[in-house]
Amino acid sequence: MKKPTRSKAYKAGLAMRKKVLGPDHVEKSFRNADEFSMPFQELATEFAWGSVWTRPGLSLRDRSLVTLAQCIALNRPHEIRIHLRGAIRNGVTWTEVRELCLHSFLYCGGPASLDAFIAVRNARQEIEAAERAAKKTVKKTVKRKRR
């Protein structure tokens, strides 16, 4: 079967998605997609990541904070876990995440804030381990290139 031709937005989106969420997460998402769900992965990559996340006007850090706030408001713990790693990769601190969760209590309600705290607490160790592993991989690659 012939591979589809990819648009500039799709290619930019794939690069942005890997930059924000980590290549391991993105590759796993595509690997786990089947014939039914692959169109969603492609659509999200081209439009969300390639047409919106690549726009000027907001820094990646700000986009991550806004995205987390919206996921909290919509009470979407699964998406909080995904975008939490992106937020950390984009320079948001754990203190700022905590404050966002607390601030959300006022405007999104206690249950959404509590679910966000639980999602963050459950994901934190995994995210920190993934980021340490990613840094080790980069260091090994740099050392090999220097040789």
Q: What is the DSSP string of 54-81?
A: T-SSS-HHHHHHHHHHHHHHTT-HHHHH
| Token duo for residue 38 | 């692959």
Look up the pTM and report it: 0.84
The amino acid present at 3, given as its one-letter code, is K
Cβ contact 100:65 at 8 Å = yes
Residue spans per domain, the chain? 8-55, 59-147
The pair phi, psi for residue 82, each rounded to 5°, is -65, -50
> Nearest CA to 51 among 17, 18, 88, 92?
17
Given this model, what pLDDT does residue 2 score? 65
Query: Which pLDDT band, with edges at 50, 70 and 90, does 134 fall under?
Result: confident
For 74-128, how does the pLDDT look when each residue is reduced to its tens digit (9 = 90+)? 999 999 999 999 999 999 999 999 999 999 999 999 999 999 999 999 999 999 9
Q: CATH homologous superfamily for 59-147?
A: AhpD-like (1.20.1290.10)
